[in-house]
Amino acid sequence: MSSIPHDIAALDTVTPPAWLTSDAALAAESIEKPAFGVDEYAARLTRVRHRMADHGVDAMLVFRPSSVEYLCGYHTAERLPQPLLVTESDVVLYVPDFEVGRALVSCRPQAVRYFRYASAHRALRLVTDHVARQLPERARIAVELAHPATPPQVVDLLRQDGLTVTDGDYLVERVRLVLSAAEIRCVEQAAVHTAAGVAAAVDAAHAPGATDSAIAAASHAAMVAGANSVSAWGPTVATGPRAGIPHSTFDHRTIGPHTTFVELSGAHHRYHAPVMRTLCQGTPTPLVRRLADHSHRMLQSVLDNAKAGVACADVARHAASDLDELPDDVVFHQLFGYPVGLAHPPHWMDGAPFAITTDNTEPLREGMVFHIPASIRAFGQTGVGLSHTFVVESSGTRVLTHGSAELIEV
């Protein structure tokens, strides 16, 4: 492997692939360009290492795919566990041999260690053995235990190798809560694709015999037509009484009556900018108008009161007050905002649990980006969602998504 211009090597006795030559590796690097420059990734690693030091851990083994990408740029459509080891001085990416190409084209890690794709079910033992060899005996290693991407057996394997495992407690994800200027530009570009999706949804709704599935298909096609990545979730389209059932989605139903609820997000380098929009056939009924009024007041309250230094709980209490008393048949989740940005499937809510709720006393910080899920539903009757994605700034909020958050008559 010395002929390859990177530190790339097998974890076991895998014969190096014949295609992995120096010339092929160099050519692969020109196929794609990392989403960010070297300085951006270095700054992220520095912030994570500071948090590691604060938590008294010697290493971090990162399994969440979006956090792996955040730290080194690596991304792939493959969902097998492909962790990243971060120590005080080193970064090692572990991938199946079939994914070495993705490592070459998407990121510039210090080291890549690969295992047989055909034997991926046994690879975790090889990975943990290698991790243990990179660390002193009894070293403290952080692992995010709550995320589904973390294999349950990894803790026992690391302990068998003499390491002390501690819960990462969203160590990387808490760093990710504050987006850099370059990341915010990605959200802004994602918002352009989101707007294209909304426009296509409205156009599709005007077609004779339009269905919820046709609206979903049109919005999805519009969002990916000029994009470099696809949304981690959605689009969600629910029409008629199904709009009053949270998280219902398209079912090849002709749209109507009352409202058609649409929630979607474009993506740019897997950064997201979600919105909710509500299509209304003809003149809105009094019920639909009441729901829209609740939704709009909640949305505006968050935008008016959120700014750097203000506690999430204070913003949420203002918004809850502005909502007044909701009728008993109204479904509302008491969630006034959740962070968005870089995300991998299954959802664009892919980070630390830091929501704008009445029980979160932490302050907002400049550079945080939130989606305000202002969805108000009359259970089993109809529903309205009017939302924006915004960034927290020192003086207040700046909306990143496009268009007016009002009922759209079709």
Which among 176, 196, 223 is the end of a domain?
A: 176
DSSP 180: P
CATH (domain of 281):
3.90.230.10
pLDDT for 303 equals 98
CB 273 within 8 A of CB 405: no
Residues 172 and 251 in one domain: no
**192 φ, ψ to 5°?**
-65, -45
Token pair of 89 as six digits: 């001085």
Q: Give the H/E segment covering residue 346.
A: none
For residue 2, being part of any structural domain is answered with no
Domain that residue 277 falls in: 181-409
With contact defined as beta carbons under 8 Å apart, do 215 and 261 qualify?
A: no
CB 67 within 8 A of CB 85: no
pLDDT tens digits in sequence order for the chain, 410 residues long:
344 556 899 998 777 888 888 888 888 888 998 899 999 999 999 999 999 999 999 999 999 999 999 999 999 999 999 999 999 999 999 999 999 999 999 987 789 999 988 888 789 999 999 999 999 989 999 999 989 999 999 999 999 999 999 999 999 999 999 999 999 999 999 999 999 999 999 999 999 999 999 999 999 999 999 999 999 999 999 999 999 999 999 999 999 889 999 999 999 999 999 999 999 988 999 999 999 999 999 999 999 999 999 999 999 999 999 887 888 899 999 999 999 999 999 999 999 999 999 999 999 999 999 999 999 999 999 999 999 999 999 999 999 999 999 999 99
Question: Peptide bond preceding 151: is omega within 30 degrees of 0, i.e. cis?
Answer: no
Task: Tell me if 45 is assigned to some domain.
Answer: yes
Are residues 159 and 229 both part of a single domain? Answer: no
Strand 369-371 vs strand 338-339: parallel, antiparallel, or unpaired?
antiparallel
The answer to whether the beta carbons of residues 393 and 308 sit under 8 Å apart is: yes
8 A C-beta contact, residue 312 and residue 355? yes
Of 54, 52, 129, 147, residue with least CA distance to 90: 52
Is pTM beyond 0.85? Reply is yes
DSSP H or E stretch at residue 100: helix 100-106
> Do 154 and 198 share a domain, yes or no?
no
Cβ atoms of 310 and 316 within 8 Å: the answer is: no
What is the reported pLDDT for 280? 96
Q: Return the ∠ at Cα 322 (arms to 320 and 327), rounded to 5°.
A: 70
Number of domains in the chain: 2
Nearest Cα to 87, choosing from 126, 138, 48, 137? 48
Q: pLDDT at position 114, please?
A: 93
Is 1 contained in some domain?
no
Q: Are residues 320 and 378 in the same domain?
A: yes
